[in-house]
Amino acid sequence: MKYFNLHTHQCTYQLDVLELVNQYPQEFDVAIPFYSIGIHPLFINENRLESDFKVVDEKLALPECLALGECGLDKRSETPFEVQQLVFEKQLALAEKHQKPVVIHCVAAFQELIEIKKRLKISVPMIVHGFSKKVELAKQLIDNGFYVSFGKNLLRYPELESVFKSIPNDRFLLETDMIEEGIQEVYALAAKYKNLKLNELQEIVNGNYKAVFEFNKQ
């Protein structure tokens, strides 16, 4: 695997890229080879939660479903925060049941996220996608067992260089999310920031992929 894209909303079918394509329970595309699936905190529909949970449970049992997500907590959401927490925690129970890692969407709720992980004693890997915050928060997440993923914001905001450089090499992944740039551009900038050759960065990301997505085979 030359490139791994932790989180994208479009499948490009490149032979040298393993893409984890984000899917939603009610908008499922069977043509996508590998995907994550989850109930996003911005799109919680309380009238269909039962059927959404059923779809997520069924898909997580399949080998082509590599992860739960994106799911999480978002204080911008119109859904009451207490409801978001309940939906998130129920999804985490499914991730534990199927032993699949979790791709996290988190906005202004990092302390609650850390508390939930501790309280529920989550054993599967958890990755905060689209990280764009400060070094101190990154360290707190890593100290609590999270991985962090960088992509759009790394390309857009040069001030994230110091944050990314502070991340231990065994704790990051890379993504494109919804940007037009390819994962190759994210890798190139990440290698530059880490002062690594591209092939060295690829080896690091491949090792992190195995730690996150093959953790239960080790």
Please give the annotated binding residues for a divalent metal cation, written as ranges. Answer: 70, 105, 129, 177
The 8-class DSSP code of residue 28 comes to -
Provide the 3-class DSSP secondary structure of residue 35: strand
- Rounded to whole angstroms, the Cα distance separating 26 from 181 reads 27
* Among the listed residues 171, 210, 208, 174, the one whose alpha carbon sits nearest the alpha carbon of residue 191: 174
The 8-class DSSP code of residue 63 comes to T
The tokens for 17 are: 């890229």
Written as one letter, the residue type at 114 is: I
Strands of the sheet containing 35-37, edge to edge, are 3-8, 17-23, 35-37, 65-74, 102-107, 126-128, 147-150, 172-174
Cα R_g (the chain), whole angstroms: 16
- Rounded to whole angstroms, the Cα distance separating 37 from 60 reads 8
> From the annotation, which residues make up the binding site?
70, 105, 129, 177
